[in-house]
C-alpha cells in the first residue's frame, strides 16, 4: 500500500512571548485508503496539524513527506502546486460563494491549479454526481440544506482527484440526519481509495473512522 503521509518528528512553535509549542515531536504514518479521526480540546494543536498536513503551514522542525515527496524543502510555489493537485479541504463553514451556483462553486476549485479550462464544467458535474448533488447543480447555496451545502463543498474538494481529504469539523454545523449522510459519503469515498483525515468533537464521527488519534498540548497519541 502506498504511504500518503509520513510526518517525522514534526514540531511547530510560534515565536510569541512566551513562545507557543503548538505541535511537539509529532510522528504519523498514513496509508492510502486510511480513515483517521483526530480529537482534542480547544487549543491543542488540531488546526495547526491540519494546516501542516495541508501544506498551508510549515513545521519548524521535522519532515513531512506527502505521497513520498518531501515537502519541507520545497519552494512555496512547488508546495502550492502539490497542495492544489493532491489535497482537498473541507471546513465546518462550507465557504461557498452565495451568488454562484452549485456547479460554479465547484468549478472555482480549479482556478488555482494548472488545470485546463476545457472540460471544467464536466469535471465539476461529475464530482457533484459523486456526492449525490447532480439534481441541484444550478441552485444557489442559499436554497440548499446544510447537508447539501457540505456535499457541494466536498465535491469542490474532490475536483482534481486529490489523494488526501482533510476535514476540519465537517459536521459541526449539521444536524444528525445530515451528519449521517456526510459520514455515508466519506465511507463511499474511502472505498474508492481516498485517504480521509477528520478533525471532530463528535463521537459519532470519530467512531466511524478506522483510526482514532488524540492531540493534547501538541502531543499526538493513537488510541489502540
Ligand atoms: P485547535 O485547532 O486544537 O484549537 P490550534 O492548532 O489552532 O488549536 O492552536 C494550537 C495553539 O497554538 C494554541 O495555543 C494557539 O493559541 C496557538 N497558535 C495557533 N496559531 C498561532 C499563531 N499564528 N501565532 C501564535 N500562536 C498560535
Ligand atoms: Mg482549530
Nearest CA owner, ligand 1 atom 16: 43
Q: Given this model, what pLDDT does residue 160 score?
A: 84
**Grid cell 454526481 in the structure block, residue:** 129
At residue 165, φ and ψ (nearest 5 deg) are: -110, 120
What ligand 1 atom has the least distance to the C-alpha of 44? 3
- Domain formed by 3-222, architecture: 3-Layer(aba) Sandwich (3.40)
Quote the CA–CA distance of 113 and 128 in Å, as a whole number. 19
Q: Given this model, what pLDDT does residue 110 score?
A: 83
What ligand 1 atom has the least distance to the C-alpha of 45? 6
Query: Distance from the CA of 48 to the center of ligand 1, in angstroms?
Result: 6
Quote the CA–CA distance of 59 and 25 in Å, as a whole number. 10
Query: Distance from the CA of 22 to the center of ligand 2, in angstroms?
Result: 11
The closest alpha carbon to 35, from 218, 215, 224, 207, belongs to: 207
Q: Given this model, what pLDDT does residue 32 score?
A: 97
34-38, 116-120, 145-149, 207-211: range with lowest mean pLDDT: 116-120
User: What is the pTM assigned to this prediction?
Assistant: 0.94
Nearest CA owner, ligand 1 atom 7: 47
**pLDDT digit string (tens) for 124-144?**
999 999 999 999 999 999 999
Quote the CA–CA distance of 165 and 36 in Å, as a whole number. 10
Query: Distance from the CA of 41 to the center of ligand 2, in angstroms?
Result: 9
**pLDDT digit string (tens) for 25-64?**
999 999 999 999 999 999 999 999 999 999 999 999 999 9
**pLDDT digit string (tens) for 58-115?**
999 999 999 999 999 999 999 999 998 899 999 999 999 999 999 999 999 887 666 7
Instruction: Say how far residue 97 (Cα) sits from the centre of its chain.
Output: 19
Q: Where are the domains of the chain?
A: 3-222
Quote the CA–CA distance of 198 and 173 in Å, as a whole number. 15
Amino acid at each position: 500500500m502506498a504511504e500518503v503521509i509520513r510526518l517525522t518528528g514534526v514540531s511547530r512553535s510560534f515565536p510569541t512571548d512566551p513562545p507557543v509549542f503548538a505541535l511537539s515531536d509529532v510522528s504519523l504514518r498514513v496509508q492510502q485508503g486510511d480513515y483517521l479521526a483526530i480529537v482534542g480540546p480547544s487549543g491543542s494543536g488540531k488546526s495547526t496539524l491540519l494546516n501542516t498536513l495541508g501544506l498551508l503551514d510549515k513545521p519548524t522542525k521535522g519532515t513531512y513527506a506527502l505521497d513520498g515527496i518531501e515537502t519541507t524543502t520545497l519552494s512555496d510555489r512547488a508546495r502550492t502546486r502539490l497542495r492544489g493537485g493532491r489535497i482537498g479541504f473541507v471546513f465546518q463553514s462550507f465557504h461557498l460563494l452565495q451568488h454562484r451556483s452549485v456547479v460554479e462553486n465547484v468549478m472555482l476549485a480549479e482556478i488555482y491549479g494548472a488545470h485546463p479550462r476545457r472540460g471544467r464544467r464536466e469535471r465539476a458535474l461529475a464530482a457533484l454526481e459523486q456526492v449525490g448533488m447532480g439534481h441541484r447543480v444550478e441552485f444557489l447555496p442559499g436554497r440548499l440544506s446544510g447537508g447539501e451545502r457540505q456535499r457541494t463543498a466536498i465535491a469542490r474538494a474532490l475536483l482534481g482527484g486529490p489523494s488526501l481529504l482533510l476535514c476540519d469539523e465537517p459536521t459541526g454545523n449539521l444536524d444528525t440526519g445530515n451528519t449521517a449522510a456526510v459520514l455515508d459519503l466519506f465511507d463511499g469515498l474511502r472505498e474508492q481509495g481516498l485517504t480521509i483525515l477528520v478533525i471532530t468533537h463528535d463521537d459519532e464521527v470519530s467512531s466511524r473512522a478506522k483510526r482514532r488519534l488524540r492531540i493534547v498540548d501538541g502531543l499526538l497519541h493513537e488510541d489502540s
